């Protein structure tokens, strides 16, 4: 992958998928802006063995309006350069026992929190990054949705599915509006990938997914697709949804 020192901003960078993306993209020569609400995000570059010039970090709770606005301001004012944006941070809706919450158990606050992180933050960060991408005539947006945004399954809470389906619609609109500027916008919709997030779901519930590959995925199997979508070779790929789920969802 030729990066020419480009910079990618990754949200949810301190999670299972985020860390793998950060390590792989740094290795490929990208400069990184690593964003997470976790208290350990500042230590992530050292943990990954990155030089200080390779990575900046921002501790930001994307559900907090003031913190998200401050981050978007840095992006829109160009303090944080953003050639590519990976909207990866996301939460789901499970009870303490890892059981799926039914629609009757999801109140307005819970719904608003899921939508704030999974949909509103990606919308506002994309909006902040796009003008600079248009000026440069090059940009990449990747949104990490889920199989839950593509189809029904007993595994997915309704709030989560609604947010991820919305993210897919957002990506499609950005793709249509931005293709003529050399900007692509694509979705990766993973099935079960072994990370802290899937680890919080009751294993019996997760195992209901009928996966032809008969296994769960590894973060590297998502990162490989991310690396492709960021590359110049993917310049004609926009508005796409890559279903990466071991065959658990195969639309016609
Ligand atoms: N692991 C899986 O099986 C699947 C994951 N996904 C999606 O992949 C993305 C990454 O998930 P994982 O790495 O598995 O989860 P994870 O839980 O390991 O990582 C998510 C990261 O997002 C951060 N985050 C959460 N809320 C935030 C907020 N308000 N502000 C800033 N950061 C916040 C967390 O601190 C965490 O570091 C998510 O969008 C998730 O919905 C989609 C399908 C399957
Ligand atoms: C961990 C998240 C909520 C999750 C769990 C299971 C699947 C799946 O069976 O495909 C997902 O796509 C998820 O996003």
Closest ligand to Cα 245: 2
Sign of the CA dihedral 125, 219, 196, 215?
Answer: positive
- Residue 181 CB coordination number (10 Å): 16
pLDDT tens track, the chain, 252 positions: 556 689 999 999 999 999 999 999 999 999 999 999 999 999 999 999 999 899 999 999 999 999 999 999 999 999 999 999 999 999 998 888 889 899 999 999 999 999 999 999 999 999 999 999 999 999 999 999 999 999 999 899 999 999 999 999 999 999 999 999 999 999 999 999 999 999 999 999 999 889 999 999 999 999 999 999 999 999 999 999 999 999 999 999
What is the predicted pLDDT for the residue at 2? 58
What is the predicted pLDDT for the residue at 239? 98
Dihedral (Cα; 141, 137, 31, 243), 10-degree rounding: 20
Residue closest to 151 by CA, chosen among 165, 138, 137: 165
Compute the C-alpha angle 174/175/180, nearest 5°. 110
Closest ligand to Cα 208: 2
If you ran DSSP here, which 8-state letter would residue 236 be given? T
Rounded to the nearest whole angstrom, what is the distance from the C-alpha of residue 145 to the centroid of ligand 1?
Answer: 10
What is the predicted pLDDT for the residue at 96? 81
CATH number for the region 7-244 comes to 3.40.50.720
CA distance 146 to 189: 4
What is the predicted pLDDT for the residue at 1? 58
Rounded to the nearest whole angstrom, what is the distance from the C-alpha of residue 153 to the centroid of ligand 2?
Answer: 9
Residues lining ligand 2, Cβ inside 6 A: 92, 146-148, 155, 160, 190-192, 197-198, 201, 206, 209, 245, 248
Residues lining ligand 1, Cβ inside 6 A: 12, 14-18, 36-38, 60-63, 88-91, 117, 144, 146, 190, 192-193, 195-198
Domains of the chain, residue spans = 7-244
- Residue 189 CB coordination number (10 Å): 22
What is the predicted pLDDT for the residue at 20? 98
What is the predicted pLDDT for the residue at 3? 66
The torsion region of residue 119 among left (phi > 0), alpha (psi -120 to 50) and beta comes to alpha
- Residue 165 CB coordination number (10 Å): 17
What is the predicted pLDDT for the residue at 52? 87
pTM of the full structure: 0.98
Residue closest to 13 by CA, chosen among 63, 67, 86, 71: 86
């Amino acid at each position: 992958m030729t990066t020419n020192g480009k910079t990618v901003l990754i949200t949810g960078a301190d999670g299972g998928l985020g860390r793998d993306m950060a390590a792989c993209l740094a290795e490929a020569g990208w400069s990184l802006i690593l964003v997470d609400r976790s208290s350990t995000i500042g230590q992530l570059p050292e943990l990954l063995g990155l030089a200080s010039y390779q990575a900046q970090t921002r501790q930001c709770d994307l559900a907090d309006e003031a913190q998200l606005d401050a981050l978007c301001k840095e992006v829109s004012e160009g303090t944080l350069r953003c050639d590519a944006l990976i909207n990866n941070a996301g939460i789901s809706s499970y009870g303490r026992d890892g059981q799926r919450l039914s629609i009757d158990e999801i109140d307005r606050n819970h719904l608003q929190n899921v939508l704030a992180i999974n949909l509103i933050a990606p919308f506002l960060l994309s909006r902040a990054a796009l003008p600079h991408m248009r000026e440069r005539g090059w940009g990449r947006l990747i949104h990490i949705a889920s199989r839950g945004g593509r189809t029904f399954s007993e595994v997915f809470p309704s709030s989560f599915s609604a947010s991820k389906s919305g993210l897919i619609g957002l990506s499609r609109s950005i793709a249509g509006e931005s293709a003529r500027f050399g900007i692509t916008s694509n979705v990766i919709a993973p099935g079960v990938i072994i990370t802290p997030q899937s680890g919080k779901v009751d294993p019996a519930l997760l195992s209901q997914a009928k996966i032809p590959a008969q296994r769960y995925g590894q973060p590297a199997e998502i990162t490989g697709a991310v690396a492709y979508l960021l590359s110049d070779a993917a310049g004609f790929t926009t508005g796409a949804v890559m279903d990466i789920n071991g065959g658990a969802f195969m639309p016609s």
